[in-house]
Amino acid sequence: MPEPQPPLLSRLPAFEGDELFVVIETPKNSRNKYDYDEAVGAFRLKAVMPEGMAFPYDFGFIPSTLGEDGDPLDILVLLDAPVVVGCVLSARLIGVIEAEQRAAGKPWLRNDRLLAVATHARTHEHVHRLDDLRPNLLGEIEAFFGQYNALSGREFRPVGRSGPDQARALVEHGRAAFQQHRNRK
C-alpha cells in the first residue's frame, strides 16, 4: 500500500484559528523570483531581476485561495530575516495594497498585495495596522511592484490601501473562489 503523500502546499488551509498560513516563494533580498508549481509540487525559478533590485520582504501566497488573476493571493510578509523558499509560516494580516495589473494588450485585473507580519517577528511585533509602518514604506513597496511589473512587460497601479479587516475580507473572498474552482473540477 502506498504511503500517504503530504498535501500540496497550495492546498494547505488559509487559516489556523486567527493566524494566516503563508507559503514563501521568494525570500527578502532575493533577486530571483520563484513560483510554486502545483503540478510538480516544487518551486521553479520564474525570473531574475536586474542588479540593484530585490524583494523588499518575504513574498509568497496564501494557500487555498484564488485571486482574479487565477493564482493564489499574493502576500508580502514582514519578518526580521529572510526565510527559505518553501517555508510555511503563520502571520497576522495588517492590511492590503489594493491594485490592478495588466499585461500588454490585456484587460486590467485585480492583483492586490496583502501585507502581514510573521507571528515570530521581533522587529515588527508592534505592527498591527498599516498606520504602524514607518512613513513612506507603503509608497516604496508600491514603487517596487510598479518597477518589477514594468520589467516584466506588465503595468501595475495601486488603487487604494486598506486595513486588516478589508484584508481579511479579501482572503475570505479568495477562499470562496478557490472552493468554487475545486467544486467545478
Give the chain as a DSSP string: -PPPPPPPGGGS-SEETTEEEEEEEE-TT-SEEEEEETTTTEEEEEEEPPTT---SSEEEEETT---TTSSPEEEEEE-SS---TT-EEEEEEEEEEEEEEEETTS--EE--EEEEEETT-STTTT--SGGGSPTTHHHHHHHHHHHHHHHTTEEEEEEEEE-HHHHHHHHHHHHHHHHHHHHH-
CATH number, domain of 86, equals 3.90.80.10
Is 127 inside a domain boundary?
A: yes
Q: What is the mean pLDDT of residues 36-52?
A: 93
Residue range(s) defining the domain that contains residue 176:
9-184
* Grid coordinates belonging to 75: 502576500
- Per the structure, how many domains does the chain have? 1
Is 142 inside a domain boundary?
A: yes
Q: What is the mean pLDDT of residues 95-118?
A: 95
Please tell me the pTM assigned to this model.
0.93
10-26 confidence digits (pLDDT tens): 999 999 888 899 999 99
Is 1 inside a domain boundary?
A: no
Is 3 inside a domain boundary?
A: no
